[in-house]
Amino acid sequence: MIHTFSRHGAHFASTTRWGGVSTSPYGELNLGGAVGDSPESVKQNRFLAARELGLDPADVVWMNQVHGAEVAVVTERQPEGAAPRVDAVVTDRPLALAVLTADCTPVLLADPAAGVVGAAHAGRPGLAAGVVPAVLAAMRELGARPERILAAVGPAVCGRCYEVPEPMRAEVAALVPAARAETSWGTPALDVPAGVAAQLAEAGVQDVVRSSVCTLESPDHYSYRREQRTGRLASYVWLGPSHS
């Protein structure tokens, strides 16, 4: 099961954990290749997800995410097994960009007028390191303009659930004040999606759609904080016709 929406020729999608071939603890639609699941299961799941979205699996660009702020500019199809060690990708080619998460925040960006898309993996370290401003800067280099960019902030752990030690909250909030939060039980927390939304707004991105899903609370989504050993969701962005 995959949730999708499209606007002005830009297409956004986020998977759930259902509809694939992986078995426990990765059941069913695990799309992460570095979590211990069978490589063949991951390959089949990526094929199934792409087919549901009307995409050629060879046109999907993946990342080996490292919780930083490095951005890769993609100019061609990605050879199998050649995903760059970055936390954001941008392209002006007819490719789909994918972000893997299991509580971190997927950030999907598109400027249909410029023909440019971007995607970022914003966990707590990436948010603090500035991965969102970095991916926007890379998109601008390709001709995108913030006021035209459509943004989708995908399923992630919410600020009511993401408990952290007070020093960590203070450190991140000093850099991104909007991320400061409190759990529903009254302890220090971080709201990474709120921090992402604030950074987008500060950069001039006005059209932002935020998912209402908290991955930790939702049994339909993978959550590392809930399960530790688990699969990964994928969120996708691309331009052009959609057959989903």
Instruction: Please check the confidence at residue 1 and state whether its pLDDT lies above 90.
Output: no
211-231: pLDDT as tens digits: 999 999 999 999 999 999 999
35-62: pLDDT as tens digits: 999 999 999 999 999 999 999 999 999 9
d(Cα 119, Cα 107) in Å, to the nearest integer?
A: 6
189-200: pLDDT as tens digits: 999 999 999 999
Percent of the chain whose predicted confidence (pLDDT) is above 70: 98
Residue 79: the pLDDT is: 87
73-110: pLDDT as tens digits: 999 998 888 899 999 999 999 999 999 999 999 999 99
Res. 243 pLDDT band, cuts 50 70 90: very low
Residue 244: the pLDDT is: 41
* Residue linked to tokens 């990436």: 126
117-169: pLDDT as tens digits: 999 999 999 999 999 999 999 999 999 999 999 999 999 999 999 999 999 99
Res. 241 pLDDT band, cuts 50 70 90: low
Residue type, 18: W
Instruction: Please check the confidence at residue 242 and state whether its pLDDT lies above 70.
Output: no
Kindly state the average pLDDT of the residues 106-117: 98
Residue 130: the pLDDT is: 97
User: Which sequence spans correspond to the domains of the chain?
Assistant: 2-158+213-239
| Contact call for residues 169 and 188 (beta carbons, < 8 A) | yes
Residue 26: the pLDDT is: 96
CATH 3.40.50.150 fits 2-158+213-239, yes or no: no
Residue 210: the pLDDT is: 96
